[in-house]
């Protein structure tokens, strides 16, 4: 097949995907939320605009969604509420607001997430619920509000507290990132890394050459808390709490402003939404139940190489000093 334009590639993929029927067609409607071409382009970008590869990727995604019953995950609350609080306390993620262009701002406490208060399935369930709520509710609402498709978000990654012990969490992190890569491709417009210690600098230096240029262009390593740079794209009220005061980290703020907290409005709205949809099925108060199991995809060869490289570098750093010391932009190169 000769070289085609991006618009022609979208047209070709649309013709192919129009042939799907039944459950696959239904779940694809959940995926694109009325913005068909924008979502087809995500899968094409993820496969370098190769229509055949993008088609295979999209079909695999739709089959995963059907097999794992992803369409119903927003009616599967994590209960009891104490367990949900434990998940939130150990898997630090939240939404702090929106950029001036209307993109949701997701904050992730990479360094201080411990993933040690629940089974892996609950963390994966929680992650997918946030993805689905973002896509079906937040992005859909902002698209209607702004009168144009808004299909991506920005993520601010707080590296405060990142230590060599994070190596023990790499399997779970790999599962989550692989689910995102294969089933939610190109949903993040930009990654902003803040409060980065030396250990991040060392790992980033060896991992960056392994990443696709498309990915590395999205990653911006900011000096300190990144407040000044982030204020160029969002108002102060949308800044994650760990960016608001110098180089303060995730643990130095009260729950009233902590977007990771289960008591933050975002998490309260998400949990209420899931619980409401459970109850509208005609069921009563949700009882304790097993976690929502989904298929864990195997990382590709590139993903395996990246994990091995990180593991190797972190082992090399085991005897180094000052791993918790923040680095400035002379130490970490974007």
Residue boundaries of the structural domains of the chain: 6-68, 90-243+259-276
Predicted local confidence at residue 231, as pLDDT: 97
Predicted local confidence at residue 317, as pLDDT: 63
> Which pair of tokens denotes residue 60?
């695999």
Predicted local confidence at residue 287, as pLDDT: 52
Q: What is the mean pLDDT of the chain?
A: 86
pLDDT in tens, 195-214: 998 888 888 888 888 788 88
pLDDT in tens, 89-144: 999 999 999 999 999 999 999 999 999 999 999 999 999 999 999 999 999 999 99
Decide: residue 277, CB within 10 A, 0-12 exposed, 13-18 middle, 19+ buried: middle
The band of 295, judged by pLDDT with boundaries at 50, 70 and 90, is confident
Mean pLDDT of 162-173: 80
Domain 90-243+259-276 CATH (choose: 3.30.56.10, 1.10.10.10, 3.40.525.10, 1.10.1040.10)? 3.40.525.10
Confidence check: pLDDT of 296 > 80: no
pLDDT in tens, 178-190: 999 999 999 999 9
Mean pLDDT of 304-332: 56
The band of 255, judged by pLDDT with boundaries at 50, 70 and 90, is very low
């Amino acid at each position: 097949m000769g070289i085609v334009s991006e618009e022609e590639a979208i047209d070709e993929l649309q013709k192919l995907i129009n042939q799907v029927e039944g459950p696959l067609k239904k779940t694809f409607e959940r995926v694109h939320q009325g913005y068909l071409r924008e979502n087809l382009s995500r899968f094409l970008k993820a496969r370098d605009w190769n229509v055949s590869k993008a088609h295979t990727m999209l079909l695999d995604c739709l089959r995963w969604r059907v097999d794992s019953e992803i369409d119903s995950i927003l009616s599967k609350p994590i209960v009891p509420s104490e367990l949900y609080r434990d998940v939130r306390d150990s898997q630090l993620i939240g939404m702090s607001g929106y950029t001036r262009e209307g993109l949701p701002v997701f904050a992730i406490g990479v360094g201080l997430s411990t993933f040690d208060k629940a089974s892996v399935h609950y963390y994966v369930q929680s992650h997918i619920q946030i993805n689905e709520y973002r896509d079906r509710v937040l992005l859909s609402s902002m698209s209607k509000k702004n009168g144009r498709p808004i299909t991506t978000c920005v993520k601010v990654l707080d590296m405060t507290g990142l230590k060599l012990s994070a190596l023990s969490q790499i399997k779970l992190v790999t599962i989550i990132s692989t689910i995102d890569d294969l089933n939610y491709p190109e949903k993040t417009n930009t990654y902003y890394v803040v409060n980065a210690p030396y250990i991040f600098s060392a790992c980033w230096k060896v991992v960056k050459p392994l990443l696709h240029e498309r990915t590395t262009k999205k990653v911006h390593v900011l000096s300190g808390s990144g407040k000044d740079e982030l204020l160029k794209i969002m108002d102060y009220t949308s800044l994650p709490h760990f960016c608001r005061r110098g180089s303060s980290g995730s643990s130095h703020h009260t729950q009233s402003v902590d977007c990771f907290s289960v008591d933050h409005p975002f998490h309260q709205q998400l949990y209420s939404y899931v619980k409401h949809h459970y109850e509208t099925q005609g069921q009563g108060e949700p009882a304790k139940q097993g976690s929502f199991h989904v298929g864990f995809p195997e990382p590709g060869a590139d993903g395996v190489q990246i994990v091995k490289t990180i593991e190797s570098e972190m082992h090399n750093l085991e005897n180094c000093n000052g791993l918790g010391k923040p680095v400035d932009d002379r130490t970490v190169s974007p």
